Every structure is written in structure tokens, then in C-alpha cells.
Structure 1
Amino acid sequence: MNTRLSMLLLLCWPLVSHAQNVVTITDADIGPGDQVTWTSDNIYLLDGFVFVEEGATLTIEPGTIIKGKPGTGENASALIITRGARIYAEGTPERPIIFTAEADPLDGSFDASIRGQWGGLIILGRASTNLATGEANIEGIPSTETRARYGCVPGNNTPTPIDDCDDNDNSGVLRYVSIRHGGSNIGADNEINGLTLGAVGRGTTIEYVEVFANEDDGFEFFGGTVNTRYLVAAFCGDDAFDYDEGFRGKGQFWFAIMPPDGGNRAGEHDGGRDPEDGQPFAIPLIYNATYIGSGASSGNADNNVFVFRDNAGGKYYNSIFTDFGNLGIVVEDLEGIAVDSRQRLEQGDLVLAHNLWWSFGAGNNLADIAPQAFVQQHLLANNNFVEDPMLRGISRESNGGLDPRPAPNSPALTRPRAAYPAQDPFFTPVEYLGAFGPDDLWIKGWTKVAQLGILTGLKRNATETSFPVMLYAGSPNPFRSTATVAFSLNQRQHVRLAIYDLLGREVARLVEGVRPAGTYHIPFDGSHLAAGTYLVRLETPSGVQVRTLTRLP
């Protein structure tokens, strides 16, 4: 690790006092009806499955660190908020609440490749699902554990018994919470998600939550109606966002970035499992997502944006999907069977509108992104564009190259947007596509993506447009053969844009000459270069700016 990065991590990493006590928490420590507070002067170590039982409330102070012991099967560690219990975990941007592995020293040495070191956070509610029985045991917990039930008995509307239905069920608050390095395996194809939400109701508040380097999915919704905002799924080993069993919540400002060495879909969207045509259908409503895949050149054939199957619907508006190893979307179309996700699309329950799609391993033609003709027709009819969103930078390394905000003149700022639902206070109307505006990098500071130095340190504010020159990180970064380097000028001036190796030798000159004001995207073919880190240097009379660019083997 170089000195500059080490200093950056030391400056931005939350400090853990050596005087903090480590308090081991077992399942016996929180009983039914207990009122428990975890404070920031302790580190809490989960030893096994810890259930917050019916009637109990767990309050976690800002800045508190919770760690989980390693283990698999019945020896895994996880925190489970059961039906009828509540969690109030309200951090701040300066003092997030962190869930991580026991071995994580919180000094930046646990990177995005370290997954599956403990379980995760599970919240169970009694909102409705489309299961035939109405309730079930949650995935990731042994099926013999009766406290792991979620959902409700259909037809019950009076929330008195624990299994009565209540779509307004309240399981508490999660705000500025980072869940890291989880996903223990408890059996074949049965890992714990970073944040599992089983039949959680819309009375629950979930916003500003990061799942970082989970072995399985980042977020998974099993039915329910919970509404969520400002979610981050970063470098998870399976899917970023997964829903099924009739999930019908709302979402806004969802962000995913997938690892270069794995990751499947940004959105694995299923309708029902028993039966597939069970009601209510899964039809969540999502605005302003930005999903970044494993890299168009990653060679990851499993890395698609979406699969919709098992009669799933769902609606995505005003979003950006880019840099995936394979293709964009597959919609289940079962021959001879009317009840499938194609039916949901044709009946208006599956909608993709006013979105940008760009940079796919399969190609950048509509037929490459969406190989099914009926999906192509839908995308064309609903203002979807195959167009570079001009994000400021894509990186998956600790080089400060990730900046998912749109650059000036990005189509994310100029393309038409879908209207937001009228008189719905949940949604915040914004004048851009994707999860980030040009002035709003809401993942800075509190996320591990920022603390590892993956995220740019560049701050943009209202005065940035007065800067005479702005050099953006290359995209994709890292790259295998080709990349694009972008820069902006607010006035006509002489520009020299070149790439150097770490010995200071120029390896490519991209621009030399006078350029008028505007934003430029310069293609760069680095296939002849050795793998390693290079410096992109922009020199003008206004000054010099440098960014790093990494070539993969």
C-alpha cells in the first residue's frame, strides 16, 4: 500500500479507541419485552444467532461497532429482529453504525475481496407475502428455528396475534448503517444476505444503508411493503438487489457496484415461489437507481443487469445501468404458460422507462442488451436510451477513481424524465437520471466505499462550474484494453492530455492543441501497455490535474 493511500485511510477511517470494551452478546442476552441499548463506548461481539424477540427493542447509538464471530451452519453469527420486535439503529454521516466481522481491524486492511466472515442483519415483519401459507422461515437461518418466521396469515387484519397481517408494520429504523464482509454459509446454496428483509412493513424506516462485500446478495426483500432510500450494494458476491414473494415496496436512490471477480445480477427479481401466480404480485416501484456491473471487459457471463422471472413485475424509472460483463435484461417467457413475467410486462406491471443503458460485454446495440424482441419493443416505446451516461469515473480499486455522478453535459441531465407519482411524499423529485445528482455524492464519508479510498475525494459544489478545467477519472477504471478519459473546459484554451507510466515516461498523447469550451470524452487504446497503474495528466494554462488509471492483465 503506498504512503498516500495509507495516509488517506488513516485520515478518513473511524477511530476505534483501545479503551473500548468488547461485550460478547449471545442469544440469551435479549429476551421478549427487553429494552436494550448498545452504546458507542463498547464493541459488541455477536456469538451465534442473536434474536431480538417479540416485544423487545434494541437501540444502537451512533458510532457503535458490532462484530460477528465467524462460523458456518448453526455456528454462524447474525442479528435477527423478529416479528413484533424493533431495532432503532440511527447513525449519522460522521458516526455511522458499523456491522462487520470479528477479524476486521477497521484500519482499511479488510478489502472488498474479503467476504463471508460472519452472517448479517435480518429483520422479520408481518406484512403480507404471496406465499400460499402466508408465512415461512427466513432464508439463511436453520429451518427448525421457530423464531425465524416471517409474514402473516392471509385474511387476518387485526394486528393482535403475532401472525396477523399488517402492511404498515413497524420494525424500527435503520439510518447510516454499514454492513460489511458478511454472508456466512449455513448449507448448500443457503447463505445469509447482507440485509435480509422478510415481510417488513412500510412503517419501518430504512435509508442510508450500505452492504459491502457480502458473500451472497446485498439486499433481499421477501414480500412485504417496506420503502427504502439511499441504499448501497457494493462488491457483493451474488446479486445486489433481490426481491421475491410479492414485494411491493418503493425505492429511490439505489446504488450498486459489482466486483470485477464475480457478482451475478444487479437485480434478481422473482415473483412467487409457492405458487408462482400467488397474489399480491411483486410490483415494487423504483426511481433513480444507478447500477454498475463487474465491467464490460470482465468476461463475467453471469453479470447482467436484470432477470425478471416467476411472474415478477417491477417498475424502474429514471435510472442508469452501465458496465456489465454480459447483457442488460432477460424476462421470463414460458412457452405454453400464460402466467410469467412476460405477462406482467404486457399488463403494465413490469415497466422500464426513461433509463440509460451503456457498456455491455455483449455489445452496445439494443439487441445485444435485450435479446428478446418483445423486450426491445418495450424499451423503445418507453424512452430507454442506449447512450453513454458520462459518469465521472468508474473504479473498483482504492485509487479514488469512482465518481458515479454525471459529468457536465451528461444525458442523465438532459434526457426526458418520467414524472414522479403525484402527491406521494416518499419520492423526492430530482432533475437527473440515476442515484446521484451533479452536486450530491451522498455515499461520501460514512460508507466503506469512501473509507477504502475507492470513491473520489473530489468535492463538487455550486462554485465548481467556475473552475476553468476539470479532469475526470477514466472509465472503466480499471480497464483491460480500452478506456475513455473525460475533461471539461469552461473557456477556449490550449490543452495537453497525456498518459504516463510511474517512471514519468509518456506512453500516450491523447490531445495536443487548442480546444473550445465544452466536455470531451477521449478514447484510449491501452492494449499494448503492461498491466499496472498509469497517470493521466491534463495540462492547460489554468493548471495541471492528474488522475490514476489502472490496466488489468
Structure 2
Amino acid sequence: MKKTILSIAVIAGLIFTSCSSNDDNPIVPSSSFELDADNFQGDIEDGEVTLSASETYILTGPLVVKSGAELFIPAGTTIKTDPNGASTSMYIAVERGAKIYIDGQANNPVVMTSGKATQSESDWGGLIICGDAPVNTGSNGDSEVGNLAYGGDNEIDDSGRINYLRIEYTGSKFSATKEFNGVSFFGVGSGTQVSNIFAYESGDDGIEFFGGTVNASNLAIVNAYDDSLDFADGYSGTITNVYISGISKAGIEGSNNGDNDVATPMTNAKLINVSIVKGDDAKFVASEQAINFKEGGGMQTYTNLFVSGIDTFAKLDEGSGATARIEAGEFMVNGIAFVTENNLTTDYVASENGAGNGADMPDWANEIE
């Protein structure tokens, strides 16, 4: 009997202590950001914000993850824009020093899309990520949209992770020189993980890298109304498995620097397993060819590159910087140094299968779609 009374006393004491402890240490939210699924916008200034796949989030304005804060988006989450919102005011941006974790899964991606009943390219901005890695336009540049600082000297800078993201109907425009892309990487470092992105119906470029050192894999870009894939400003990295279809201007535009075509660090892009398919619709004319070797070009190497529907292989910058890169054999295509006089697709593309299935969409892209 004494043992029973003692046990009850101990349990009561534990309960009292537990309650007292909770009173002394109340649960504190992990971020001061007020998450409202029906009004998803504002600045995440601190801590961690985690979305729920059971909710559909309505993007009503700019959502900016500020330096030091983190945003987590689990598989199956959908973010839609306000159908009545201004197209240029709705975008998601990650500041230098902040992180985003997009954790989709095969056949269960994170989806960012237009909320309009009739969806179209340029319905909203897109996703912008800024990092602290080198660019050849100078540190502390301002992103083309969002006015966010980017660039630095940390090659291994970490802005988080993107895996299995479908992003649609992006690319709204302020002007002819100030436009959103589907996904824009500004000075993003190699510590960032980027894989399995499907960019669909972008009013400007599908995916663009402004400098930085981030590597990427499994990028599908379908129906872009400027260039499909773009890299510039000293981008240095490897992009593996790229499927491009529906090309308005260039399948891939690769540049060094628009103001100084021999600026350093020089663009040094390696692309492996690439399919570039013009598309059957008459509006996709590939006016700047499969590759637009632009603004000095930098160093570009393509391995297992497949091209369909485009006769002239490259549009060439005629400046001295680009000429020097070509003469030095730094524009390599399927093991062959590009030669200006031989500028037909048939001179460089033989039996390659590109991203996996030649002109057809590869299996890995279907998992994101």
C-alpha cells in the first residue's frame, strides 16, 4: 500500500513539474511570419516557415525569403497566383543568405502555377534565387527583377535545394529589358542542390543562370517565348540532362558578359545529355538557332547533344571575344571543336540520344510533369 501511495505521489509531481515547465517555457513559433494560405505574400524575415501539402496557397503579391530565413515546401504542395493580381507583382524570391527547400518527389512534384481560369505565359513572375557565388558583372549586383543583391566570392554558397518542381505560365514583363524567367539563378553557389525542374510556358526564358557555380540536372523546358535555357555573366558549372522543346529564339543562349566580352571569371559551362527540339507549332521558329553563342560566349562544352528541326546550328557573336574562344577550340560540340565555316546541325549532331529519348520527352521529365 505504501508503494502505491508513493507511486501516485511521484506521478502527480511529474505532472505538476511538466505543467510548470510548459508555463515557464511557452512554445514559440519558429518564425514571426504570419502564414495565410489565402493571402500568401510578404517578407519571411526570420526562422523557418513550412508549408503543408494539404493546402493550396494563393500567391497575392511578392513573397520574399529574407537573409537568414528558410522556406520549406513539401512534395505535393500547390501554389497558385491570384487570378486578379498584377502579373509583375506576383513572384517568389530568395535573398542572398536565405534558403529555400523545394522537396517534391517523382510523380508528386511541388507545383507553382497560374490561378487564372485560362492560363497563359506571363501570367506571373516566377522563382528568383540569389546567392553569394562569383559573377563577372561585379559583386552586389541587383537582380533584373526584385532588386535583390547577389554575387560574391563564395563558390560553395548554399541557397538550399530544389527537387521535383513544376513551374508554369511565368515570365511577366515590366519592359523589353526587365522580365521574369521561369526560374532565375543569380550568383547561386555549388552548395545549392538543383534537380528535376519542369518549366512550362514561360513568357521569357525558361531557366537562366546569371553567373554563379551551381550545378543542375534533369531540366525540362517546354514552350519558352524567348530563349529556353540561358547562362551568362561568368556562369561556371555542369548541367546534366536537359530536354528543350518549343523554341522561340534560341534553344540555349550562352554568354560571357554584355559589357565586356572577355570579363573574368569567364563563363565555363559544361552541358551533358541535351535534346533541343524546335517544336511543330508554327509559332516556334528557333530564330536564334539551337545555340546562340553570344556576348563573348565564354567556354562552352556540349556532350551527347541532339538537335531536331533546326538546320543552322549556331547564331554567332562576331566580336573579338567570341572569335577568340572559337579559334581556341573552346566551343566544343560532341567532341568536335566548332568551326565557323561548318555551321550546320548535321556537322555536329550524328546518332546522339540527347536527354534520353532523342526528340521525345525522356522518362525522368515525365516524372516531373
TM-score using structure 1 length: 0.56
RMSD: 2.6
CA distance in 2, matches of 1:319, 1:24: 44
Q: 1:121 aligns with which of 124, 127, 130?
A: 127
Are positions 1:39 and 2:52 aligned together? yes
- 1:235 corresponds to which residue? 223
SS, match of residue 444 in structure 1: helix
Residue 281 of structure 1 contacts residue 311 of structure 1 at CA under 8 Å; is this kept in 2? no
Residue segments in structure 1 that go unaligned for 5+ positions in a row: 1-20, 153-164, 356-369, 388-410, 413-432, 448-553
Residue 283 of structure 1 contacts residue 312 of structure 1 at CA under 8 Å; is this kept in 2? no
Partner amino acid, structure 2, of 1:434 = G
- 1:320 corresponds to which residue? 306
- 1:65 corresponds to which residue? 78
Partner amino acid, structure 2, of 1:49 = P
Partner amino acid, structure 1, of 2:107 = E
- 1:166 corresponds to which residue? 154
After superposition, what is the alpha-carbon deviation per residue over 1:137-180, rounded to whole angstroms, capped at 9, x for unaligned? 11123xxx4xx11112xxxxxxxxxxxx2010111111010000
CA distance in 1, matches of 2:284, 2:223: 16
- 1:100 corresponds to which residue? 113
1:109-188 map, 5 Å: 110=119, 114-131=120-137, 133-141=138-146, 145=147, 148-152=148-152, 165-188=153-176
Mark the CA change 1:178 to 1:285 in structure 2 (over 3 Å): closer, same or farther.
Answer: same
Residue 293 of structure 1 contacts residue 303 of structure 1 at CA under 8 Å; is this kept in 2? no
Query: Shift of residue 275 of structure 1?
Result: 2.5
- 1:367 corresponds to which residue? none
After superposition, what is the alpha-carbon deviation per residue over 1:397-442, rounded to whole angstroms, capped at 9, x for unaligned? xxxxxxxxxxxxxx33xxxxxxxxxxxxxxxxxxxx3111599611
1:316-355 map, 5 Å: 316-324=302-310, 327-334=312-319, 338=320, 340-354=321-335
After superposition, what is the alpha-carbon deviation per residue over 1:324-370, rounded to whole angstroms, capped at 9, x for unaligned? 3x632122223xxx3x2121122232211258xxxxxxxxxxxxxx9
Q: 1:81 aligns with which of 91, 94, 102?
A: 94
Are positions 1:225 and 2:210 aligned together? no
Q: How many residues align?
A: 329
1:453-464 map, 5 Å: none
Are positions 1:48 and 2:61 aligned together? yes
CA distance in 2, matches of 1:228, 1:139: 21
- 2:363 corresponds to which residue? 441
CA distance in 2, matches of 1:250, 1:301: 24
CA distance in 1, matches of 2:272, 2:258: 26
SS, match of residue 169 in structure 1: coil
1:248-287 map, 5 Å: 248-258=236-246, 263-287=248-272
Residue 352 of structure 1 contacts residue 379 of structure 1 at CA under 8 Å; is this kept in 2? no
Residue 128 of structure 1 contacts residue 134 of structure 1 at CA under 8 Å; is this kept in 2? yes
Are positions 1:202 and 2:122 aligned together? no
Residue 197 of structure 2 contacts residue 368 of structure 2 at CA under 8 Å; is this kept in 1? no
Q: Where has structure 1 moved over 6 Å in runs of 4 or more?
A: 296-299
CA distance in 2, matches of 1:81, 1:299: 32
CA distance in 1, matches of 2:187, 2:67: 15
SS, match of residue 213 in structure 1: strand
Mark the CA change 1:125 to 1:303 in structure 2 (over 3 Å): closer, same or farther.
Answer: same
1:317-396 map, 5 Å: 317-324=303-310, 327-334=312-319, 338=320, 340-354=321-335, 372-373=340-341, 384-385=348-349, 387=350
TM-score using structure 2 length: 0.82
SS, match of residue 184 in structure 2: strand
Q: 1:216 aligns with which of 204, 214, 217?
A: 204
- Does 1 or 2 have the higher relative contact order (CA < 8 Å, sep 6+)? 2
Are positions 1:24 and 2:9 aligned together? no
Residue 288 of structure 2 contacts residue 315 of structure 2 at CA under 8 Å; is this kept in 1? no
SS, match of residue 102 in structure 2: strand
SS, match of residue 254 in structure 1: strand
